[in-house]
């Protein structure tokens, strides 16, 4: 029970006890800790391109190297195929550049809707004022 004693961990893949615990990469969708053997197998599969995963949106199974990581603003877990990533990117830029109510191009000043309005995207000043008045 010294200062540098390590607790034994149990590998999530093979359920073996291990002193050395390895943390898997986020793309592997595995929980830590991993033993050295399972970590090396996963790494080999990942870099050789044999590790496959589903797209989060459409469910198409592809190699991990062909899938795209979503932007942090989208608040998503998992990977996307190129088609889903492009459609999500267009939708995100549309919500960021145009008013969600009237479709007018947003100027420098943008207004975020209140949570109880249940709107996604941003609003121009006129639409924000109209929403505020109609909710009273």
User: Model confidence over 35-92: pLDDT tens digits?
Assistant: 889 889 888 887 777 778 888 889 888 887 788 889 988 888 888 999 999 999 998 8
User: What's the average model confidence in pLDDT over 107-126?
Assistant: 87
**Count of CB atoms within 10 A of residue 6's CB?**
9
Judge contact between 102 and 124, C-beta under 8 A.
yes
Structure confidence at residue 87 (pLDDT): 93
Decide if pLDDT at 1 tops 70. Answer: no
Please report the pLDDT score of residue 86 as a whole number.
93
> Which is it for strands 17-18 and 9-10: parallel, antiparallel or unpaired?
antiparallel
pLDDT score of 5 more than 90: no
Q: Using alpha carbons, list the distances in angstroms from residue 86 to 19, 68, 91.
A: 43, 10, 9
Count CA within 13 A, CB hemisphere, residue 46. 13
Instruction: Reduce the DSSP state of residue 101 to 3 states and report it.
Output: coil
Confirm if 113 and 128 have CB atoms less than 8 A apart.
Answer: yes
Kind and range of the H or E element at 129? helix 125-134
Q: What is the arithmetic mean of pLDDT over 109-133? A: 87
- The owner of tokens 């929403």 is 131
CA-CA-CA-CA torsion sign (115, 120, 121, 125): negative
| Mean pLDDT of the 24-28 span | 79
- Name the 3-class secondary structure at 13: coil
pTM surpassing 0.85? Answer: no
pLDDT at 2: 54
Q: What pLDDT does 17 receive?
A: 87
């Amino acid at each position: 029970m010294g200062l540098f004693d390590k607790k034994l961990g149990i590998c999530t893949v093979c359920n073996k006890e291990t002193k050395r615990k390895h943390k898997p990469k986020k793309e592997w969708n595995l929980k830590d800790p991993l033993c050295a053997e399972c970590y090396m197998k996963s790494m080999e599969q990942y870099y050789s391109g044999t590790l496959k995963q589903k797209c989060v949106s459409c469910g198409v199974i592809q190699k991990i190297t062909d899938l795209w990581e979503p932007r942090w603003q989208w608040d998503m877990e998992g990977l996307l195929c190129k088609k889903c990533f492009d459609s999500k990117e267009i939708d995100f830029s549309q919500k960021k550049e145009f008013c969600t109510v009237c479709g007018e191009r947003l100027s420098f000043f943008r207004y975020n809707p209140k949570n109880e309005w249940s709107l996604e995207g941003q609003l121009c000043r006129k639409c924000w004022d109209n929403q505020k008045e109609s909710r009273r």
